[in-house]
Amino acid sequence: MKVYINGRMVDEKNAKISVFDHGLLYGDGVFEGIRVYHKKVFTLQRHIDRLYRSAKAIALEIAMTPDAMSKAVVRTCKQNGITNGYVRLIVTRGVGTLGLNPYLCKQSQVIIIAGGIQLYPVELYEEGLSIITVGTMRNHPEAINPRIKSLNYLNNVLAKIEALNSGAMECVMLNPQGYVAEASGDNIFVVQGDRLRTPPVWCGALEGITRAVVMELAQDMGYTVKEDVLTRYDLYTADEVFLTGTAAEIIGVGVIDKRPIGAGRPGPVTLQLAERFKAYTREEGTLIE
């Protein structure tokens, strides 16, 4: 595998960065996870836009243009012969000193890794996930805004630990007001009849790209889609609940806090949307050539 580091393609074993990089020392940086389907980089422009928004939000100047970044992603995929895979795009604050001051970091570092991804076991897409709500609340927006896809994922890691320690693979995170925010690495939707609802980003959700695509596809399919404040009541009483994310795509939730959701397995709307999403991965994308 060849890894892109600051404009150079380096061999996997030489793909190293400084221990003084503030990405490592402080989780000071931003990232994206992007899928490649059928030799096309899926929703590349949306990921690049979000990356630059995240960087702007933490006052991180990326030393290359968005257009050059897109080209670098495609080039890294090409070099590695990726047909279906996963790209991790990372921008760190760069090499600095042992001290918080980000202004002492000379230049941001850009790292692009193109490889594979492990999804949930395939049977879970038919059976549905069993998840729990956790006590670890989503970051307060005025602490670290959840809209920023930063390298500091401790909030999510702590939530994931809580879930895993209770035998659940994913969790529902609530925001400081007790409203539903999202899962540790996915957005959440509830289905009631022909209505889809998902928490607005101010409730502590990342502006997920899969979330946006699903909202658009669902609307085209005739569903009513609304961003809405949700509580656990809305989850427990929903016909269906599903999660969306780059890695998970669309996965139905069968059980939350040991309570069956609807029939206790992925419902027809979830399965229909998953089918439509899969078709869309053939339609959309930036060709790797």
Binds ligand PXG by CB under 6 A, chosen from 30, 211, 215, 218: 211
Contact predicate 181/200, CB 8 Å: no
DSSP 258: T
Residue from 247, 257, 272, 284 in contact with ligand PXG (CB under 6 A):
247
201 binds ligand PXG (CB under 6 A): no
5 vs 25: CA distance, rounded Å: 18
> Cβ of residue 181: shortest distance to ligand PXG, in angstroms?
9
Transcribe 142-197 into DSSP letters. Answer: TTS-TTS-BS--HHHHHHHHHHHHTT-SEEEEE-TTS-EEE-SSSEEEEEETTEEE
Which residue, 1 or 119, is less far from ligand PXG as judged by CB?
Answer: 119
Q: What letters, b where the CB count within 10 A reaches 16 and e where it falls short, cover 65-87?
A: eeeebbebbbbbbebbebeebbb
Q: Shortest Cβ distance from residue 144 to ligand PXG (Å)?
A: 11
**Is the CB of residue 88 less than 8 Å from the CB of residue 51?**
no
Active site residue 149: yes
- DSSP code at position 239: S
Number of residues in contact with ligand PXG under rule CB under 6 A: 15
Catalytic choice (2, 40, 149, 160): 149
When asked if residue 150 is in the footprint of ligand PXG (CB under 6 A), the reply is no
Is 206 a binding residue for ligand PXG by CB under 6 A? The answer is yes
Pick 109 or 210: Cβ nearer ligand PXG: 210
Shortest spacing between CB 244 and ligand PXG, in angstroms: 6
Q: Is 209 in the site for ligand PXG (CB under 6 A)?
A: yes
Chain residue whose CB lies nearest ligand PXG: 33
Q: What share of the chain is helix, strand, coil (3-state, %, to 5)?
A: 30, 30, 40
Give the containing element (helix H, strand E) for 278: helix 268-283
Binds ligand PXG (CB under 6 A): choice among 130, 136, 187, 281: 187
Q: Which of 85, 185, 266, 285 binds ligand PXG (CB under 6 A)?
A: 185
Q: Let me know if 192 is exposed, middle or buried by CB neighbors in 10 A (0-12, 13-18, 19+).
A: middle
Q: Which positions are annotated as active-site residues?
A: 149
List of residues contacting ligand PXG (CB under 6 A): 33, 156, 182, 185-187, 206, 208-211, 244-247
